[in-house]
Amino acid sequence: MIPRLLPTFVVALSISILGTLWAWVALADIAGIPTVRSDWLLADSPLPLLWYALFSEGRAVEMAQWGLLFCSTLLATGWWLSHLKSTPAAIRVPFLLLASALLLMLVEDSLNLRHVVANDYLPLLHSLLPFTERFVSRLTWELFFYSVLSAMMLGAVAAIILRYRPRLETLVWLSLAFVIYGSVAFGSAMRRVGDWQERLGTWLMERLDLYALPHWQDTLAIMEQSRANNENYTFTLEYLLVDHLLEESVELIAASLLLAALLSLSRDIHQSRTTSMRHPL
């Protein structure tokens, strides 16, 4: 069923859904139209902003990403399984590596694996590390994690490309997916370098005059109270605006591009294997 999906349909559907959600957010959170604010969504949200209810951790937009990554993982796993019989290991390994990398992406995105390691296990290793600063150790770990994941993905896809010689269309899909996903991933890992996400969020809120809007003022007051009650609460609205609303939007597009690339590649692999069976060496 998954291989029958058209790559352009997957991307167009994701962009359409994302555009609809952004329009909804603009009407609810910026225009402040009461009739478009969703009480049942906001009732479950700690902050009275629709974009937070839709785009924050584990909410609708991120769950859509999980669905796309799950489909990509199933597709790559299917390729590996189809090559298990009477296929040399050199051909099977790239598909296994790709499926493993996609599964790792899905686990990391859904369970926040890199944050769990950084918060719970890195402090235990500080005595063994050449540096003890929390910022440096976390940055080093996250850059290492994404570098390994990137190497797995690029190595697997490069081996598959060299064997099956996909169409230019497939290469374009793959390039877009890798560039956008890679930019978001490494940008997230370096979010504390110059506090660029918070600075960008501040710039956006000032330019759009969001500080003056009622629901945004209420949110700022709630977050200020949270910081007063909990010294470990360090989030700011400016940071969350970029980390949730902007980053999750780009990740959704990247996830749809990745699935589109694999769907296109699936057709190339099928065509190549069909041709090989018709014209064996």
CA 47 → CA 9, 39, 163, distances in Å?
34, 12, 51
CA 182 → CA 130, 172, 186, distances in Å?
28, 15, 6
Looking at the chain, the whole-number percentage of residues with pLDDT higher than 90 is 73
| Dist CA 16 CA 29 (whole Å) | 20
Please give the pLDDT value at position 16.
98
CB 218 within 8 A of CB 225: no
Q: Is the pLDDT of residue 255 over 60?
A: yes
Residue-wise pLDDT tens digits, 109-149:
999 988 888 888 877 776 666 655 677 888 989 999 999 99
CB 279 within 8 A of CB 26: no
Range of the domain at 223: 2-278
In this predicted model, which residue has the larger pLDDT, 272 or 228?
A: 228
Using a 10 angstrom Cβ sphere, with 0-12 exposed, 13-18 middle and 19 or more buried, the burial of residue 152 is middle
Residue-wise pLDDT tens digits, 94-103:
999 999 999 9
pLDDT band at 8 (very low <50, low <70, confident <90, very high): very high
| Dist CA 220 CA 218 (whole Å) | 5
Please give the pLDDT value at position 49.
96
Please give the pLDDT value at position 30.
95
| Dist CA 191 CA 181 (whole Å) | 15
Please give the pLDDT value at position 190.
94
Model pTM score: 0.93
**Mean pLDDT value of segment 228-248:** 94
The tally of domains found in the chain comes to 1
Q: Is the pLDDT of residue 279 over 90?
A: no
Please give the pLDDT value at position 133.
63
CA 76 → CA 56, 99, 151, 163, 181, distances in Å?
28, 5, 17, 16, 18
Averaged pLDDT score across all residues of the chain = 91
Checking 209-216 for CB contacts under 8 A at 24+ apart, the result is 210/30, 213/29, 213/30, 213/32, 214/32, 215/29, 215/32, 215/48, 215/49, 216/29, 216/49
